[in-house]
């Protein structure tokens, strides 16, 4: 204890003794923190030993100089994270191409089409799709892991519908060109304009995205395969000319349909009725005039 002589002759005591008492009171808290730290380090060391690789003889292998306090903290946080994920509901398996889509999958894909048509693939977010579908983002991720998975689901749904439609082309259902016009109007005219907008975005993305290009090629291959088989049957039963150049005819109507989609996507005032009539009249004229020379035969 040190005594200082202050004003009016009074003595003022600087309480080193009180400082010592304050320090003594803080010791239990310090000891508690020290014990907790040691306990934490012991648990971290046990975790590190549990994660340490074991040789065939049962001896633990050394993988480094040891875990730092930061590494142990990160390990602890990861354990809590995995515990939280374990409480999350499991993801819903994506439907196989041949399986019917669930009501929830259909709702998400329809919502995604509206969002992508408004904002575009890159600007739209999973949160936007979830809000449009009327569900939480966490629930959305149970069905689709990312935007690319949603886009893949959209294209696969379209491919399946197209494959089913063209697979139903049959001479018993009437003239082939009449059936083709009915299908064309269903997919090009009666669908909402958003379908054309999304198709345009997919084609643009396919120019720099190999995965998207493969999906587009799959849809194109499905259409061409169905059409080629139907045209061969129509030529065999005399409905179409035997000398019809199948390759050029299929290329021509495919490009005409693509152009129709592009114009509809870009022009909100596009005259659907006049354009559709022009498209299908042109298809019928090409079927009569796009012939091989008489000296040539098709393989």
Q: Is residue 198 part of a domain?
A: yes
The CATH number linked to 237 is 1.10.357
* 271's tokens: 């005259």
How would you label 7-45 residue by residue, b for 16+ Cβ within 10 Å and e otherwise? eeeeeeeeeeeeeeeeeeeeeeeeeeeeeeeeeeeeebe
Task: Name the pLDDT band for 32 (thresholds 50, 70, 90).
Answer: very low
Residue 134 has a pLDDT of 97
Q: Is residue 104 part of a domain?
A: no
> Does residue 71 register a pLDDT over 60?
no
Residue 42 has a pLDDT of 59
Question: Alpha helices, DSSP H only, in 120-146?
Answer: 126-133, 137-143
Q: Which three-class secondary structure state does DSSP give residue 244?
A: strand
- In tens, the pLDDT along 133-192 reads 999 999 999 999 999 999 999 999 999 999 999 889 999 999 999 999 999 999 999 999
Total number of domains constituting the chain = 1
> Does residue 4 register a pLDDT over 50?
no
Mean of the pLDDT values across residues 55-67?
45
Domain that holds residue 257: 148-289
> Does residue 6 register a pLDDT over 80?
no
Alpha-carbon span 144 to 151, nearest angstrom: 10
Residue 294 has a pLDDT of 87
């Amino acid at each position: 204890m040190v005594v200082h002589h202050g004003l009016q002759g009074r003595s003022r005591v600087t309480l080193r003794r009180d400082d010592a008492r304050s320090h003594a009171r803080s010791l239990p808290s310090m000891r508690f923190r020290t014990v907790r730290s040691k306990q934490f380090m012991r648990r971290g060391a046990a975790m590190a030993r549990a994660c340490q690789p074991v040789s065939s003889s049962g001896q633990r292998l050394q993988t480094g100089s040891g875990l730092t306090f930061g590494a142990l903290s990160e390990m602890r946080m990861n354990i809590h994270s995995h515990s939280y994920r374990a409480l999350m509901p499991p993801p819903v398996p994506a439907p196989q191409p041949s399986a019917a889509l669930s009501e929830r999958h259909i709702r998400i894909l329809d919502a995604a089409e509206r969002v992508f048509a408004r904002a575009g693939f890159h600007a739209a977010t999973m949160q936007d799709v979830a809000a449009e579908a009327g569900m939480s983002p966490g629930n959305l991720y149970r069905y689709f892991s990312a935007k690319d998975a949603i886009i893949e689901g959209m294209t696969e749904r379209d491919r399946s519908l197209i494959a089913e439609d063209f697979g139903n082309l049959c001479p018993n259902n009437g003239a082939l060109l009449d059936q083709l016009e009915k299908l064309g109007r269903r997919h090009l005219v009666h669908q909402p304009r958003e379908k054309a907008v999304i198709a345009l975005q997919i084609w643009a993305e396919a120019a720099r995205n190999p995965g998207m290009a493969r999906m587009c090629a799959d849809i194109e291959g499905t259409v061409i395969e169905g059409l080629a088989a139907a045209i061969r049957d129509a030529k065999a039963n005399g409905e179409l000319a035997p000398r019809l150049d199948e390759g050029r005819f299929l290329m021509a109507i495919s490009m005409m349909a693509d152009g129709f989609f592009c114009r509809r996507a870009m022009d909100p005032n596009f005259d659907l009725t006049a354009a559709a009539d022009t498209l299908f009249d042109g298809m019928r004229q090409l079927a009569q005039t796009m012939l091989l020379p008489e000296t040539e035969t098709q393989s």
